[in-house]
Amino acid sequence: MAAVNPLLVVKDLHRSFGGLKAVDGIDLTVMPGEVRAIIGPNGAGKSTLVGLVCGRIEPDSGSILFDGRDITALPAHRRVRQGIAYTFQITSIFPNLTVFDNVALPVQRSQHHSVGVARLRRGVLEALERVGLSDRLDQPAGELAYGHQRLLEVAMGLSLKPRLLILDEPTQGLSDGEIEGFVALVREIARDATVMLIEHNMDVVMSLADRITVLNFGKVLAEGTPEEIRANAHVQAAYLGTPDDE
């Protein structure tokens, strides 16, 4: 059986803001088809790390390889074409546009050639069906409930047919029922894409992640399976709390 190469490799990545070392020598390897959770206390460097991966932030040093290609100097829009899609911690929909147009827009912007109308519509409908919003095509996005706005943003990412989908705090503000639906959605997405997930909800993390990377003060504190992370004394002290606190 042929060896499977990593989809994403981060090597000795550094990024500082003034005197703050937000990302301080991080190494990370993500395999194709994996659901990788990135967790840690507020200010640990999680959003900076994924901002570096998707190209929204430039590193001070280090390298980022995607499917064996060095993309460290590649601008964000070209990383999208390579197959990296990112959803923001705070919804970034266009409230005055319809649900359909919100999903169509990133597809049009990401392509270096024009997309036929039929192909565009097919791609938009497919993405909206996956998140359960196909019955709201003509509704202004700003009229959607908050949970549906988060799902719309996921659809915007899915419409790009990503190989790596980065979700930053996707369950923030969702109800218990919406979270349950989101977990099912991520499991479905992971059938044909790799997922990197920043999430504070530990029930979501433990149920979804194949592996978990724990950041603290811009460094990797621990990495392993959910069971290994739950049992790690250093992680308990820095983030999860001791068993007596549960």
Beta bridge partners of 75: none
Q: Which residue has the higher pLDDT, 114 or 147?
A: 147
As a whole number of angstroms, the distance between CA 163 and CA 191 comes to 11
pLDDT surpasses 50 at 245: no
As a whole number of angstroms, the distance between CA 202 and CA 215 comes to 15
Q: Per-residue pLDDT averaged across 150-160, rounded?
A: 90
The band of 243, judged by pLDDT with boundaries at 50, 70 and 90, is very low
Beta bridge partners of 37: 197, 212
pLDDT surpasses 70 at 113: no
- What single-letter amino acid sits at 210? D
In sequence order, what are the residues at sequence separation of 6 or more whose Cβ sits closer than 8 angstroms to the Cβ of residue 5? Answer: 32, 67, 68
Tokens at residue 119, please?
């192909």
Q: What domains can you pick out in the chain, each with its CATH number?
A: 8-240 (3.40.50.300)
Phi-psi domain of 161 (left: phi exceeds 0; alpha: psi -120 through 50; beta: other): left
Q: Check residue 110 and give its pLDDT.
A: 65
Q: Check residue 55 and give its pLDDT.
A: 94
pLDDT tens figures, 156-207: 999 888 999 999 888 888 888 889 988 999 999 999 899 999 998 999 999 9
Q: Give the residue among 240, 221, 219, 244 at the shortest CA–CA distance from 230.
A: 240
Q: Per-residue pLDDT averaged across 212-234, rounded?
A: 95
